[in-house]
Amino acid sequence: MKRTLLIIVGLFIAIQFIRPTQQNAKVIDELQLKAEPKVMKVLKTSCYDCHSDNTVWPWYSQIAPFSWTITEHVVDGRAAVNFSKWETYSQEKKQKELRSIYKKVYASMPLSSYTWIHKDAILTKEQIKMIRDWTGVRR
């Protein structure tokens, strides 16, 4: 019993040495997404931790194994769409992302593993409608 516990504690300590790289690239103002304040407020609260270079890395994001999953979400999220680099995107890419946002705010975004901790990131019906209107997508 005592031995098993020691092994578990030992493993937990050992994995802390496997540290993923967590970086925030410098934000260049001219390249950032610009939208009306009410839209920006929602995006910043619900999306920016994974889709911008303004990621807030909380204390638990430093602790393995959570650090691995959290870092992966941020890396993959930024690779998919990074609002801090919005103005580097072509018109086609912007349109594609706006269509994707239109769909995802109703379905899978923000990720549920995120809203489980960040309750304030859960989108209300009104916020979903507001973001959808902002995308300009008509169907």
> Counting contacts by CB under 6 A, is residue 73 touching ligand HEC?
yes
> Of 49 and 53, which CB lies nearer to ligand HEC in the complex structure?
49
Q: Show the binding pattern over residues 10-49: x = contacts ligand HEC (CB under 6 A), - = does not.
A: ------------------------------------xx-x
> Counting contacts by CB under 6 A, is residue 61 touching ligand HEC?
no
Quick one: which of 104, 122, 130, 132 contacts ligand HEC (CB under 6 A)?
A: 104
Residue carrying the six token digits 């975004």: 109
> Counting contacts by CB under 6 A, is residue 100 touching ligand HEC?
yes
Q: Is 108 exposed, middle or buried (0-12, 13-18, 19+ CB in 10 A)?
A: exposed
Tell which residue, 133, 137, 127, has the closest CA to residue 41. 127
How many Cβ atoms sit within 10 Å of the Cβ of residue 135? 17
Q: Which two tokens stand for residue 121?
A: 């990131």
Binding site for ligand HEC (CB under 6 A): 46-47, 49-51, 73, 76-77, 80-81, 97, 100-101, 104-105, 109-111, 114, 123
